[in-house]
C-alpha cells in the first residue's frame, strides 16, 4: 500500500516537473511525502 502511494506521488511530482506547471510549494510537499514513504518502506523490510 505504501509503495503504491509513494510511486503515485513520485509520478505526479515528475509530471509537474516536466510539464513546468507547478502549484507553488505543493510539488515539494509531494516529493517529501514520497521520500518519507519510501524510507518507511525500507525500514520495515530491515
Each residue's pLDDT tens digit, 18-37:
666 655 667 677 778 888 88
Report which secondary-structure segment, H or E, holds 30.
helix 26-45
Domain assignment of residue 39, given as a range: 2-45
Enter the C-alpha cell of residue 24. 507553488
Residue 15 pLDDT level (bands cut at 50, 70, 90):
confident
- pLDDT, residue 25, reads 65
Number of domains composing the chain: 1
* Distance (Å, whole) CA 46 – CA 44: 6
Q: What is the largest CA-CA distance in the chain?
A: 37
CA dist 12 → 4, 33, 36, 37 (Å): 12, 12, 16, 15
Is pTM, for the whole model, over 0.85?
no
Residue 14 has pLDDT above 60, yes or no: yes
Amino acid at each position: 500500500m505504501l509503495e503504491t502511494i509513494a510511486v503515485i506521488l513520485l509520478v505526479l511530482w515528475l509530471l509537474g516537473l516536466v510539464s513546468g506547471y507547478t502549484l507553488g510549494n505543493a510539488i515539494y510537499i509531494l516529493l517529501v511525502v514520497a521520500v518519507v514513504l519510501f524510507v518507511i518502506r525500507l525500514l520495515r523490510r530491515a
